[in-house]
Structure 1
Amino acid sequence: MKNLSLSLLAAIFILASCNNDENSNSEPEVVVNENPGTFKEIGSITIGGEAAAEISAYCEKTKRLFTVNNSGVNQIDVIDISDPTKPLKIGQINLAAYEGAANSVSVFDGKLAVALESTVNKQGNGKVVVFNTSDYSLIKQVTVGALPDMVTFSPDGKYIMTANEGEPNTDYSQDPNGTISIIETSSYNVTTLDFASFAGQAEALKRDGFRISKFAKTSFAQDIEPEYITISDDSKTAWVTLQENNGVAKVDLTSKTITAIYPLGLKDYNTAENAIDPSDSDDKIAFNPWKAKGLFMPDAISHFSANNVPYFVTANEGDAREYTAYTDVKRMKNMKLDATVFPDAATLKLDANLGRLNLVADMGDTDGDGDLDEMVSFGARSFSIWNGNTGKIVYDSKNDLDKKAHELGLYDDKRSDDKGSEPEAVYVAKMGTQNILFVGLERADAFLTYDVTNPNAPQYLQTVKTGDAPEGLLFIPASKSPTKRSLLVVSSEGDGTVKIYQPDLK
């Protein structure tokens, strides 16, 4: 197809229904011979300052982006990308009347779903508000669980799902259950699921690396904090990250039940391939093995299939709980180490070594004698691929994200003590016969592209600079793109920019 004209290429495509979703990779592909390792910026728009561009969703019918804007306002900004080289803000949806602040958006067949946390009481139930994408008129308001952090339509449009994080207030006098809400779009009936039925499995889950805080005032169901959702192409199964808990929940949408919790375990940094730079005060960037571990603690999640096996991909960001009543993060140098396990404790505690590394304060004392037998930090500084049927790890990117960022001069050494480049977003898209993974790095201000067609051996393709602190990745398949070419939309909350990228033709 290398010799075909662009107009002919654009004309050869598969007609598809309007199914636009910030986390779906099930779209039929236009038969355009594109090179997935050649994405370049073709358009950009700034809609505000910090927190102005967190998450975007795309409507094929109107050729519009709907972008969360929390930069001193409480609204969804509407951006016309009929010409993606010249994105233009054409309107906004004011959310003040709904007593909620937007965290996430998703679009399906001309309907925009917005996840709103309560502005009356953050620990109270949130809402999903549904609007028409053509005139922004209200279609429906639905009550969901507390602090809905992410919303998505299922690929078939029959369901809207929210991950309701249920964070406590600062003194833990209110700590709602973390929940998952499933809305049937035919009737807008809501089923909200909590995790109380898994409380009896708590000890077994913890042994496999699931994280339950040791704060006495919280129950198992209250401690769970759902973060992000991906739904299988057949709309029957969802996988939900439980970030602070270092796990993923599996949900059966047909029966509306949580069928499993997958503990994600720990990553060993004491190997050459997992080497990290743990210090922000050594005036250098050096990746070395250290006797420390990391909880995966994923934020975003996406999915794909290979040889009829489902897989989910996680962005292993890490996240601490920091409240007045309870804080679970502490510098390594301020903790007591077991002298037998760490005979070189004094050296390790130097700021230039592990002293500055942020650790999970109430993990690591495996024998209960008051000192650390292992050091456990936040996040795995990687993306991982997991078997969707078993929850077992298939592949981890080791330290590739940090090393690639450093090679291109994008690594932020001032984040070395925390979570490194901080993988925040993942999105798997089908491009031709390839499954292409995009990984957003919040602290390196970039996204990386990998071919994950073989989930056991992903191939690195490209690193691309973005705006400040990319939060949301949105792939628009060629079949739905205004140009009939694949587009990647990156929303960056640090500087309020929305950037649009397009690959070259082969």
Structure 2
Amino acid sequence: MTYRTIGLTSVLALTAGVAQADAFNRIASFPTHLNIGDGDQAVETSAEIIAVTADGMTLVYTDSPLGVIGRIEITDPANPAPLGNVALDGEPTAVGIAGATAFVGVNTSESYTDPSGHLVAIDVASGDELSRCDLGGQPDSIAVAPDGSFVAVAIENERDEDLGDGRTGQLPAGALVMVDVSEAGADCATLQTVALTGLAEVSPEDPEPEFVDINAAGDVVVSLQENNHMVVVNRAGEVTSHFSAGAIDLENIDATDESGALIFTESQTGVVREPDAVKWVDEDHFATANEGDMDGGSRGWTVFNRDGTVVYESGVSFEHAIIQAGHYPDKRSDSKGVEPESIETATFGDTRMIFVGSERGSMVGVYDATDLASPVLTQLLPSGIGPEGYVSIPERNLLVSANEVDLIEDGGVRSHVMIFEYSDADPVYPHLTSAGADELIGWGAISGLAAVGDETLVAVNDSFYGYQPTVFTIDVSATPARITDALPITRAGRPAQKLDMEGITSDGEGGYWVASEGRIDRMVPHGLYHVNADGEIAQEIGLPNELLAVQRRFGFEGLTLVGDTLWMAVQREWEDDPAGLVKLVAYNLETEEWGAVHYPLDAPTAGWVGLSEIVVQGDHVYLLERDNQIGAAAVTKQITRVSLDQMVPAPLGGDLPVVTKEVVRDLIPDLTSTGGYVLDKVEGLTFTPDGRAWVATDNDGVDDHSGETMFFAVEGLTDSGS
């Protein structure tokens, strides 16, 4: 029943607690719907591929749902401003910039068998079209030569994945196009098409170019993702080298979608890399993000010499670092794991760097690539959901990510462009990591918190990991805080099921009381569980009939022990509760009597408001009260308290006394302090004996979530309201 891999440690300097002279930190997040202006902002938008003008002051990104390019002013990078969208007459696939001219690939294909598209040059400031070149096929990636002299376009002519077996071998074939840049934009008369057929071992008749980049010598590197092949073409349009991207063996991975368990004990052999993004590192080497597509995806990234020699292979190390940071997307285990999709290279100061983006883990890995044969992962940065493209601006010490996922239809977070600054400052993220543990500990969906010592907390995960309920031990003396152990919760020696752990408190004897939030439609009962020091459930306490008769889906969210009485916060109103009042339920462990009081919720401005945690500290109980809103729509994310002398439970079934709450902390400034948007689920709260409050957010198991977990201390709550 073990689910951790033995003997693995991260090379990530940050999470090992090593001080750094310079680091990247996020300073701003720009939601792309702001570029709609006065129009209907409640429509899907997306930031995909992104570029920057030569002066470093304006970002331009492709937005395929809207059929536009969006523009952002970053004169003050900490306060990006919308410059509006420029409408196109097709789907933008990529953008590159020479000076202040944006070159955009536009897909106008009628069908897979009749692909078409054009290259349009647009003045960034005015939005005016300068020139347009027919490309003779469906464009994907675009690259502008470092000297601005020409543009390279990957003509993918992608396959229909729903046709037959969905494999390559569907014509027309893709190609590479090169066109000179002139004062009027693109000089269409110079357009040159370079055939790439007959090169790859996989479907040589049907190359599907995915990504292009150009080095200082004018050489173009092209990834043929589905063909698992790399091609280098010189400025004259001659293929100077080409080779298979190859395959690797993967050990200690989770390769099975087991619906809620992180089990890194599996392996795969002969996994083809199938690179997506590729970027030159110097004139002889390039790096690939091995996302995979048709047959593979090796979960890592590679540095190749232009002759095909592998100079460096990350293997599983990048994915393992993401696992330790709590960003592992378990629902993608049977696919391609964290899916490195994007890559960027630049020199900041005197340090050559490679930035690797995980599409599914929503993280950016920062590598010191001074030694190309042995790059060092120095940081992991949190991004929005689904980072698709990056642009570095080293002359301004900036890195920018474009994050394509927009969950407007589900009431979720919007697509964002995020800006990171490189400065002489301590790295802020991650807040919580399992790096440095004796074993590889996967974690996520942190819910309830409890203190068990001056510098030690425990946390539980919720029902997202339904087959792996766990108590995590956290050392808060480390920076970042460190998960040092994971204790499986068992029933009769096997992982306990039908639990949705939302609260935990120490029993004072080495074990725990755990509150489970029920959900009747999934046969998960509301209940209390006594867990011994070995993680075995020793006692289960169900709800009395008085509560069973009125229960709803949203149940216990947190519990605390006051003397002989367990107090549980109910998240939202049940059937017998007046609107705006929720129960704080009491259970006396000695007399086995149940009771409750009513707690008044703030009125929601949208959605709902409920409770997420309860903990006793001194002569008060403290509670987390939040709405279910995210980003700019969030209003209520706060810590409140109720004096213990009001916590006198009345018998169930009758009128309950209504307690008076005091708001002691608005958490929205804390939740925006790292330059991101306001996360929805503030779920965990506890106090260490020194009076520090610790707060944690739930990352939903990295499912329709960026995976970002905020875990931070708040001082002074016990002194007075603030």
Instruction: State the TM-score, normalized to the length of structure 1.
Output: 0.71
The Cα shift of 1:61 comes to 4.2
| Counterpart position of 2:274 | 297
Change in CA separation of 1:296 and 1:433 when aligned onto 2, cut-off 3 Å = same
- The partner residue of 1:318 within 292, 309, 320 is 292
Write the mapping of 1:57-136 to structure 2, written as runs, cut at 5 A: 57-61=51-55, 63-71=57-65, 73-96=66-89, 100-121=90-111, 123-136=114-127
Once the two structures are superposed, residues 160-207 of structure 1 have per-residue CA deviations (whole angstroms, 9 ceiling, x without a partner) of: 1101111134548973211100001243320011223xx2x6xxx53x
What do the CA deviations read for 1:289-329 (whole angstroms, capped 9, x no partner)? 52532110011111123xxx621000000012xxxxxxxxx
Counterparts of 1:48-447 in structure 2, within 5 Å, are 48=33, 52-61=46-55, 63-71=57-65, 73-96=66-89, 100-121=90-111, 123-169=114-160, 170-171=162-163, 175-186=171-182, 187-188=187-188, 189-196=190-197, 199=198, 206=201, 211-212=202-203, 220-221=204-205, 223-235=206-218, 237-253=219-235, 255-269=236-250, 274-281=251-258, 283-288=260-265, 290-305=267-282, 310-320=284-294, 360=295, 378-388=296-306, 390-447=307-364
Describe the shift of the 1:191–1:37 C-alpha distance in structure 2 as closer, same or farther (beyond 3 A). same
Give me the whole-angstrom Cα distance separating, in 1, the residues matched to 2:355 and 2:56. 25
Mapped partners of 1:497, 1:50: distance in 2: 12
% same residue: 29
> In structure 2, do the counterparts of structure 1 residues 36 and 473 end up closer, same or farther at CA, with 3 Å as the change threshold?
farther
Output the CA distance in 2 between the equivalents of 1:283 and 1:148: 39
Structure 2 Cα separation of the partners of residues 311 and 168 of structure 1 = 29
What do residues 393-431 of structure 1 show as CA deviations (whole Å, max 9, x unaligned)? 111111112111111111011111000000011111111
- In 1, the alpha carbon distance for the partners of 2:21 and 2:150 equals 31
Q: Which residue is 1:498 aligned to?
A: 417
Q: Which amino acid aligns with 2:299?
A: R
Distance in 1 (alpha carbons) for counterparts of 2:138 and 2:22? 37
Q: CA deviation digits over 1:347-406, x for unaligned, max 9?
A: xxxxxxxxxxxxx4xxxxxxxxxxxxxxxxx11100100112x11111111111211111
Classify 1:168/1:398 alpha carbon distance in 2 versus 1 (closer, same or farther; 3 Å).
closer
Is 1:168–1:176's contact at 8 Å kept on the other side of the alignment? no
Give the conservation status (yes or no) of the 8 Å contact 2:109–2:138.
no
Deviations 1:62-120 (A, max 9, x none): 8211111123x211111111111111112211102xxx210100111111100011154
Residue 50 of structure 1: CA displacement?
5.5
- How far 1:433 sits from its partner (Å)? 2.2
**Whole-Å separation in 1 of the counterparts to 2:255 and 2:83:** 45
1:60–1:185 distance in 2 versus 1, CA, 3 Å: closer
Q: Which has the higher contact order (CA 8 A, sep 6+)?
A: 1
Asked if structure 2 preserves the Cα contact closer than 8 Å seen for 1:284 and 1:413, the reply is yes
**Distance in structure 2 (CA, Å) of the matches to 1:493 and 1:55:** 9
2:103, 2:120 within 8 Å by CA — same for their partners in 1?
A: yes
Question: 2:626 maps to which residue?
Answer: none
Structure 2 residue identity aligned to 1:129? V
Post-superposition shift, 1:282?
6.2
Query: How far apart, CA to CA, are the structure 2 residues paired with 1:131 and 1:415?
Result: 38
Q: What is the Cα-based RMSD across aligned positions, in Å?
A: 2.1
After TM superposition, give the deviation of residue 260 of structure 1 in Å.
2.7
Letter in 2 for 1:381: R
Identify the range of structure 1 (42-51 vs 107-116) with the bigger mean alpha-carbon deviation: 42-51
For 1:245, the aligned partner's letter is N
Provide the secondary structure at the position in 2 that maps to 1:54.
Answer: coil
Distance 1:37 1:314, change over 3 A: farther
Structure 2 residue 399 is matched with structure 1 residue 488: yes
Give the counterpart letter for 1:466 in structure 2.
Answer: S
What amino acid is the match of 1:87?
A: P
Report what 2:375 is aligned to. Answer: 458
How far, CA to CA, are the matches of 1:457 and 1:84 in structure 2?
32
Contact 1:125/1:147 (8 A) holds in 2: yes
Whether the 8 Å CA contact 1:145–1:192 is kept in 2: the answer is no
Is the Cα contact below 8 Å between 1:146 and 1:177 reproduced in 2?
no
TM superposition outliers: structure 1 runs of 4+ over 6 Å: none
Amino acid at match of 2:180: E
Give the TM-score taking structure 2 as reference length. Answer: 0.50
Aligned residue for 2:23, secondary structure, equals: coil
CA contact (8 A) 2:245 2:275 kept: no
Number of residue-to-residue matches in the alignment: 378
CA contact (8 A) 1:145 1:181 kept: no
Q: Equivalents in 1 of 2:231, 2:376: separation in Å? A: 28
Contact kept, 8 Å, 1:438 with 1:448, in 2: the verdict is yes
In structure 2, the CA distance between the partners of 1:407 and 1:391, relative to structure 1 (3 Å rule), is same
Unaligned runs of 5+ in 2: 1-19, 34-42, 407-414, 426-722
**Larger fraction in strand:** 2
> How far apart are 1:36 and its partner, in Å?
8.3
